[in-house]
Amino acid sequence: MNLLLKNVIITDPGNTYNGQKADLRIENGQITAIGELTKTDGEQEIDGKGGFLSAGFFDLNAAAGDPGFETREDIDSLIAAARAGGFTGVAVMPHTAPVVQSKSQVQYICNKARGGVTDIHPVGALSLEREGKELAELYDMRQAGAIAFSDGDRPVKDDGFMSRALQYLKGFDGLLMVYPENGSIAGKAKINESANSVLLGMKGLPALAEEMQISRDIFLAAYNEARVHISTVSAAGSVALIRKAKQEGVNITCDVAAHHLSMTEELLADFDSNYKVKPPLRGAADVAALLEGLKDGTIDAVCSQHRPEEIEFKNVEFEIAHYGIIGLQTVLPLLVRAGLGAVQIAEKLAAGPRKVLGIPVPAVSVGTNACLTLFNTTEKWRYDEDNNYSLSANSPLLGQELTGRVQLIFNNNQLYTNG
């Protein structure tokens, strides 16, 4: 298709046009001109006044229910939620039923998602059934399209197993993504350990459980000279550990979930299970440390940690409710709420995730295939059941007016606009 985007602010660090207002022409999926342009015959024109144009957003950590829990989220609904949230690419975790742990299962997801405006990239399970005992078919899954490997929301408990996995992954430059929790410290706690947990009369999950696991992961990454990505850090101590490791040359990266940047444990006062996430919401000091980690480059990317759940697993007592928030459509508003500017948003949602995965970052420049997200950081909109494209509704933000909206994405020579 042929498209003319008018009056957009190009947000692409290192680009000649970065920070400038310009028009951009796309012909047959390729950017052919940037500057002050006039509409031609057969060309669709969209006025992006007030919008920032960056490389397409990429999410490092989302979950679907397909296969096995399609009532929770299937591939089509995942893509619908992702494109509305501005994502042109999504890495999908393997905790489905059956677990995505073989070549054929990776191919199933790739084939089902093929042809959409949003690319879906399966993350293969590290271990069979995510039990941390026997390696899954890692190389075969890589050949079939797995972009990385992880046991999802289950930490790798066995130190020796993880060390051997890192050695094996080095053979084909595979990336291991780990969830940071020491289970013996965490126990069955549900919320952050603090004065707030005492006030609410609930067993607290200490930040120590996350920090101890991250310390272990750093040692193993350094010992094996391998790369490790730590998913969804949430505590100030974790940021400090990763910062020090990076300064010492350890090949380690990390991300943070958007909700951990603007939500704190005080929101649990009413025992709303839609705020029940793992890692748990922490305190204001942790949020401040996470934001500082984003600013200084310690934290490489922001993810959605999209976790759809049926109502019967959320509309129950807090203690027994499942963890998770649907987040693909609300990442941008949460980052705006947290005080991030357009350049930092583009860095942590578009460039950072791809650098973690070792894949090219699309450029907003002439002669490149267009992979773009146009977003507005001041536009207000109401998030409700009419524009929630997930099959699930477990978000505390539903029914709220939010600031920060994705206007459109363009990828694979396809255009999607939020009406």
What are the domain boundaries of the chain? 2-52+367-379+399-417, 57-357
- By CB atoms closer than 10 A (0-12, 13-18, 19+), residue 355 is middle
Q: What is the DSSP letter of 167?
A: H
Which residues does 234 contact at the CB level (< 8 Å), separation at least 6? 207, 210, 256, 257, 260, 279, 280, 281, 282, 286, 290
- Fold classified for 2-52+367-379+399-417: Urease, subunit C; domain 1 (2.30.40)
Options 2.30.42.10, 3.20.20.140, 3.40.190.10, 3.40.50.2000; CATH of 57-357:
3.20.20.140
Strands, E assignment, 201-312? 204-205, 228-230, 252-257, 301-303
CA 279, 283, 289, 294 torsion: positive or negative? positive
What are the tokens at 284? 């204001």
Radius of gyration of the chain (CA): 21
Picking from 117, 145, 13, the residue whose alpha carbon sits closest to that of residue 371 is 117
Picking from 400, 386, 155, the residue whose alpha carbon sits closest to that of residue 267 is 400
For every one of its 419 residues, what pLDDT tens digit does the chain have, with 9 covering 90 and above? Answer: 899 999 999 999 888 899 999 999 999 999 999 999 999 998 999 999 999 999 999 999 999 999 999 999 999 999 999 999 999 999 999 999 999 999 999 999 999 999 999 999 999 999 999 999 999 999 999 999 999 999 999 999 999 999 999 999 999 999 999 999 999 999 999 999 999 999 999 999 999 999 999 999 999 999 999 999 999 999 999 999 999 999 999 999 999 999 999 999 999 999 999 999 999 999 999 999 999 999 999 999 999 999 999 999 999 999 999 999 999 999 999 999 999 999 999 999 999 999 999 999 999 999 999 999 999 999 999 999 999 999 999 999 999 999 999 999 999 999 999 97
Say yes or no: do domains 2-52+367-379+399-417 and 57-357 share a fold: no
SS3 344: helix
Query: Angle 75-84/103-113 helices, nearest 10 degrees?
Result: 60
Q: What are the φ and ψ backbone dihedral angles of 367, each rounded to 5 degrees?
A: 95, 0
